Amino acid sequence: MRIGIISDTHRDLTCISKLEDVFKEIDMIIHLGDNVRDVEELSSHFKCPFINVKGNCDFTNKVPDEIVEEIGGKRFLITHGHKYDVKWGIDRLRYRALELQADIVLFGHTHCSMNQYIDNTWYVNPGSPSLPRDSSKTVGIIRIEGEQVDVSIMGIN
């Protein structure tokens, strides 16, 4: 299974055309918030299932703040991250992951990519394809084959 991870698009839809090469053969896309309306546009370009959560810049009650879901045999915690103060570190997010026994934690909000394996749990922030605060515009790809998990942060310049 191949999962595309994207966050913090902030209605900059110019990045969608750049995603077509990076998200080839994707089985699912997960959008981590800021802006949930962008999921509608993405879904018109990619014919696969979508999961999305809302971020601090999303003002809707129709989309959850957090989702815990079994995907590809792994337990995912999916959140934007602002409610865990991830701009100041991931300690609160790690406590939540431990509580939920998550295998993979997906979050955004910082606009900086992160890919770390800590205490048997993956922590993945795909960065931002529109307003990065680190080196480049990025998204993430997770490949799950049985027990094997491979996480990549991909530039979309």
> Residue 135 has what pLDDT?
80
Buried b (16+ CB within 10 A) or exposed e, 100-111: eebbbbbbbbbb
Other residues' Cβ atoms within 10 Å of the Cβ of residue 150: 11
pLDDT of 152 reads: 97
- What confidence tens digit (pLDDT) does each residue in 64-122 have? 999 999 999 999 999 999 999 999 999 999 999 999 999 999 999 999 999 999 999 99
Q: Which of 102, 53, 109 is nearest to 77 (CA)?
A: 102
User: According to CATH, what is the number of the domain 2-155?
Assistant: 3.60.21.10
1: amino acid identity, one letter: M
As a whole number, mean pLDDT of residues 2-12 equals 96
Phi and psi (nearest 5°) for 42? Answer: -60, -40
Indicate the domain borders of the chain.
2-155
User: Largest alpha-carbon pair distance within the chain?
Assistant: 38
Average model confidence (pLDDT) for the chain? 95
pLDDT of residue 15: 83
pLDDT of 147 reads 94
Point out which residues pair with 69 in neighbouring strands.
76
Q: Does the pLDDT of residue 18 top 90, yes or no? A: no
